[in-house]
Amino acid sequence: MNKSYQLLVSTTEDLISKLGCQQTTLKVIMEQSGLSKGAIYHYVDSKDELFGLILKSKIISVNEKFQHAIAENDKPELKSPLEAIASGTKTLLNENNVTNAIFAYLLSKRENAAIQGILNELYEYSLETASKWIRSGQDSGVITKQLNVNKTAAMFLTVSYGIRVLHMLSPQSTGEYSIDDFYELMFQTLKVNEDK
């Protein structure tokens, strides 16, 4: 990632945490970051597209943690990669994380075809990433091959998005325990029976 892109993203996240999504405009982002209009439009055509890129960057970050957990182990196993995903999910639920505000903002404007396109692209990318995680586990022998990859990835996203929405509606109703419980359930469901 180059410096101007990093500056664009970090400035936008900072502004959203202070002003909210509605008040964070490309003009305000330009003023705060010092980036020109051309520099911003090199990456995105709208603030909504920028918001979508920020959400996608968080999935990329969780995937990097997942890949790192796999690379660190000499022997294939399931627990560490799932813990990396759980850790990423907990980060997203942190009250200082702006992704929940972005997610709610984009959802509230989904009747706009361009925003619906951003949400669709984000979902497809998330589904593809989750499917790759499952296939990786199947290829290494720690996830049963009988599992339907696409359906399992879709269910994983359904619960993950559900936890996220529940947290936005009632932060006190979801603590780390519910995320840990979900990932423990995933671990028990996905793992290959080691007694065989």
Q: What's the pLDDT score for residue 195?
A: 43
Residue at token pair 């702006």? 98
Q: Is the pLDDT of residue 190 over 80?
A: no
Token duo for residue 39: 């520099």
Q: What's the pLDDT score for residue 60?
A: 93
What pTM was computed for the model? 0.87
Q: What's the pLDDT score for residue 132?
A: 96
Q: What is the pLDDT of residues 17-33, one digit of tens each?
A: 999 999 999 999 999 99
Task: Kindly list the domain boundaries of the chain, sorted by start residue.
Answer: 1-43, 47-190
SS3 138: helix
Dist. CA 36–CA 27, nearest whole Å: 10
Give CATH for domain 1-43: 1.10.10
Q: Is the pLDDT of residue 196 over 50?
A: no
The β-bridge partners of 191 are 143
Percentage, residues of the chain above pLDDT 90: 59
**Is residue 186 very low, low, confident or very high in pLDDT (cuts 50, 70, 90)?**
confident
Give the CATH architecture of domain 47-190.
Orthogonal Bundle (1.10)
Q: What's the pLDDT score for residue 89?
A: 78
Cβ count within 10 A of residue 101: 18
